Amino acid sequence: RFAQRAGLSVGHLRISAVTTSKYLVPNWLGSFCRQFPEIEPEFNIGNRAEIIQRLKANMDDLYIFSHLPKELDIHATPITDNPLVLIAPKGHHLTTCTNLSWEHVRKERFLIREKGSGTRHAVEAFFNMYGAPLMRPLGIASNEAIKESVVAGLGVAIISRHALSHMAPGNLVELNVKEFPIPSTWYLVTPKGKAMSPVTQAFSTHVDAMLGCK
């Protein structure tokens, strides 16, 4: 058994991850724990600002971010893409348009995550890059609630494509807009200088192997 080989009576693995990664991490953790049932995982979820606080306080073994806290001294390993896509409800007038560009969509009402969210940070950076203000943005502090609100016709949203994986097909449409998806990347993060425990190292290798298999 891994934990015994590693000289550990119990293999703890504390992971803190930003909310959007919840569509990925359980799958990695599930297969890891099936392989090493003696591992005792703890999986904490929060928005980017909350996970940065945990990282600063050195509370966990491993952190998962998409938008890295560049101000901190960290070691970050890129693991897979996190494309941010523009979604609208089925039947929205833009869903039948072709050759859409940013100009056609920027005046829509955007539903955006709460302050402290990495996704919101990316959306604001995107609007700044195009020098356009967000028109009457509606803040909603959850990816799930944003998807439901888009389906209900409250507006459009920019969201990780991973957050759409378990949606009933057809309710939401990914708009085909020239400037999208906004590229970003998932990273495994540890504080620089903090040695990875054998269990953490094994999990990181496991994630690599899973993603390499795709």
- Contacts to ligand PGA by CB under 6 A: 18-20, 47-48, 65-67, 113, 117-119
Give the nearest distance from C-beta 20 to ligand PGA in angstroms.
4
Q: CB count, 10 Å around CB of 31? A: 14
The smaller minimum CB distance to ligand PGA, of residues 20 and 204, is found at: 20
The strand pairing partners of 186, in sequence order, are 80
Nearer to ligand PGA, 67 or 92 (CB): 67
Of 39 and 82, the one with the shorter C-beta distance to ligand PGA is 82
User: Which CB, 13 or 189, lies closer to ligand PGA?
Assistant: 189
**For residue 71, what are the CA distances in angstroms to 52, 60, 111, 118, 208?**
10, 19, 28, 14, 26
Tokens of 134: 């967000």
User: Considering the complex, what minimum distance in angstroms separates the CB of residue 69 from ligand PGA?
Assistant: 9
Q: How far is the CB of 12 from ligand PGA (least distance, A)?
A: 24
**Rounded distance, CA 175 to CA 183, Å?**
15
Report the distance separating Cα 153 and Cα 175, nearest Å.
15
What type of residue sits at position 77? T
Shortest distance in whole angstroms from residue 13 CB to ligand PGA? 21
